[in-house]
Structure 1
Amino acid sequence: MKPNVGQMLASTVDATMVIVVRWPENDLEITCGGAAMVDPKGPEAGFVGSADPGQMAGSQLGKRYADDELGVELLCTKAGQGTLALNGTALPLKGAKPLPASD
């Protein structure tokens, strides 16, 4: 699935929801808790997947998850127990930009 920027995605194993902030032209697989994320208004929405116990470290509300090399950035709008991953690799939290020094 190739999501569009601004599209909301939902987990099928927990309550996690994200908004796509940045996405490359490549077709990549985004998962949460080891199961593919889906359109929350689509027919496959709901808690229908089975979670991978090794990918249940959780996601944090309001945090951005990003892979700068691939050009992916997601904003977590609803936290859950599943780990956000891209092509099977956990997405790290995006670090905060340093503020300029004040004089």
Structure 2
Amino acid sequence: MASPAPTPRPGDQLASATDTTRVIVIRAPQQAAGPIECGGTPMVPAAEAPAPSPADDAPGTLIGKRYVDAADTLELLCTASGSGHLAYAGEPLTIKAPKALPASD
């Protein structure tokens, strides 16, 4: 079994050990507060990921969406959807809201 990634760094590619979820770290805190998890299991470097199991019908992560923690110190981009939900240091990650563009009146 592959070991979890120690401290996430921007550009790291992580994969779930339990489903088909894959993410890229966009922004990461200087000091890791805990592991990045998917479906309750720490994510592993994508190169060390086991073969994914078939996905359920109800995705927990959505491809192309950015996920952030409550403090907005960690940002992940989902590159492959899966049935697990993302968490960091035991706290669930949420989908990042799009930035509002200025009005062009």
Matches of 2:19 and 2:79 in 1, distance apart? 13
Name the aligned partner's letter for residue 19 of structure 2.
Answer: D
Superposed CA RMSD in Å reads 1.8
The answer to whether the 8 Å contact 1:10/1:37 transfers is yes
TM-score scaled by length of structure 2: 0.82
Q: Quick one: which of 40, 45, 54 aligns to 1:34?
A: 40
Q: Give the corresponding residue for 1:23.
A: 28
* Matched residue SS, 1:41: helix
CA distance in structure 2 between the aligned counterparts of 1:26 and 1:61, rounded to whole angstroms: 27
Note the C-alpha offset of 1:37.
0.2
Contact 2:67 2:96 in 1 (8 A): yes
Please give the alpha-carbon distance, in whole angstroms, between the structure 2 residues aligned to 1:69 and 1:14. 26
Which 4+ runs in 1 deviate beyond 2 A?
Answer: none
**2:79 equivalent in structure 1:** 77
Percent of counterpart pairs with the same letter? 46
Q: What is the match of residue 94 of structure 1?
A: 96
1:53 is matched with: none
User: In structure 2, how many angstroms separate the alpha carbons of the residues matched to 1:98 and 1:68?
Assistant: 19
Q: Closer, same or farther in 2 for the Cα pair 1:19/1:72, shift >3 Å?
A: same
**Cα contact 2:61–2:82 (8 A) shared by 1:** yes
Q: State the TM-score, normalized to the length of structure 1.
A: 0.83
Q: Which residue matches 1:52?
A: none
Which digits, 9 at most, give the CA deviation of each residue in 1:37-79, with x for residues without a partner?
Answer: 001212xx2159xxxxxxx860000000012525100000000
Cα pair distance change 1:78/1:57, threshold 3 Å: closer
